[in-house]
C-alpha cells in the first residue's frame, strides 16, 4: 500500500508539479482515504522526501553502472550523459522550482548528489582519461570539472534551452560531443567518432 501511494504521488507530482498536488489528490488517485495515507506518511513533505530519495538512489545506481560498464573514460562520459537524459525526461522544470522553493531539505538532497557523487565521478573520469592517454595532458581538471557541473545544471533550466526551440535530449547529446572534443587528445578523437557514429 505504501508503494502504491508513493507511486501515484510520483505520477501526479511529475505531471502537475509538487505545489499544485494536494493530499486529497493523492488519496483520490490512490483510491484510498487520507487517513490511510497518514498511516504511512506524516505529511506531503514526507512523501516528497521519499520520492526524491528514491530518485537520487536510482540515479546513483545509474552512475555506478556507467562507471562499471564503460570501456574507457570517453565511453563513461557518454553513458553518464545517457543516464542524464533519462533523468531529465522524468523531471519537469516545475519540479525543481517547487523543490527549491517549498521543499528546501529535499532540494539539498538533489544538490548534494550533483556536488558530491557526480562531481567525484567527473573528477575521477578526468584522471582516468589522462592516464589512458585519451585526454589532453594540459587540462585544468578543476576548471573542466566545474564547467561540466554548471552545464549539467543548465539542462534543468528552461530559459537556457526553451523547449519551443530545443529538444533537450538532442542538446545533451550535442553538448556531450562538444565537451569531449574540447578535452580529448588525438587518440581520443578516434574514439569519439567511433561512439557517435555508432550511437
Residue 40 lies in a domain: no
User: Which residues, 6 or more positions from 28, have their beta carbon under 8 angstroms from its beta carbon?
Assistant: none
Residue 37 lies in a domain: no
CB 89 within 8 A of CB 169: yes
Q: What is the mean pLDDT of the chain?
A: 90
Tens of pLDDT, residue by residue over 102-132, are: 999 998 998 888 888 899 999 999 999 999 9
**CA–CA separation, 29 and 31 (whole Å):** 6
Residue 168 lies in a domain: yes
- Radius of gyration over alpha carbons of the chain, in Å? 19
Residue 176 lies in a domain: yes
Residue 178 lies in a domain: yes
Tell me the pLDDT band of 199, cut-offs 50, 70 and 90.
low
Q: Is 20 helix (H, G, I), strand (E, B) or coil?
A: coil
| Residue whose C-alpha is closest to residue 14's, from 96, 111, 104, 82 | 96
Can you give the residue range of the structural domain that contains 172?
Answer: 73-197
Range with lowest mean pLDDT among 89-93, 110-114, 143-147: 89-93
User: Whole-model pTM?
Assistant: 0.84
Residue 181 lies in a domain: yes
pLDDT of residue 71: 94
CA angle 12–17–18, rounded 5-degree value: 90
Residue 135: strand pairing partners: 184
CB 154 within 8 A of CB 142: no
Overall domain count for the chain: 1
Instruction: Give the residue-averaged pLDDT of 83-97.
Output: 81
Amino acid at each position: 500500500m505504501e508503494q502504491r501511494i508513493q507511486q501515484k504521488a510520483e505520477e501526479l507530482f511529475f505531471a502537475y508539479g509538487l505545489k499544485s498536488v494536494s493530499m486529497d489528490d493523492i488519496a483520490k488517485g490512490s483510491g484510498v482515504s487520507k487517513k490511510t495515507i497518514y498511516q504511512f506518511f506524516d505529511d506531503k513533505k514526507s512523501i516528497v522526501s521519499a520520492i526524491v530519495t528514491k530518485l537520487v538512489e536510482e540515479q546513483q545506481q545509474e552512475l555506478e553502472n556507467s562507471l562499471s560498464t564503460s570501456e574507457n573514460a570517453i565511453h563513461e562520459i557518454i553513458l553518464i550523459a545517457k543516464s542524464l537524459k533519462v533523468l531529465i525526461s522524468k523531471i519537469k522544470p516545475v519540479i525543481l522550482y517547487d523543490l527549491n522553493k517549498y521543499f528546501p531539505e529535499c532540494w539539498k538532497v538533489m544538490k548534494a548528489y550533483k556536488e558530491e557523487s557526480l562531481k567525484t565521478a567527473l573528477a575521477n573520469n578526468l584522471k582516468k582519461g589522462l592516464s589512458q592517454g585519451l585526454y589532453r595532458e594540459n587540462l585544468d581538471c578543476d576548471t573542466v570539472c566545474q564547467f561540466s557541473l554548471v552545464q549539467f545544471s543548465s539542462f534543468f533550466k528552461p530559459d537556457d534551452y526553451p523547449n519551443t526551440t530545443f529538444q533537450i535530449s538532442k542538446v545533451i547529446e550535442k553538448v556531450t560531443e562538444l565537451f569531449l572534443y574540447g578535452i580529448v587528445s588525438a587518440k581520443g578523437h578516434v574514439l569519439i567518432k567511433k561512439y557517435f557514429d555508432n550511437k
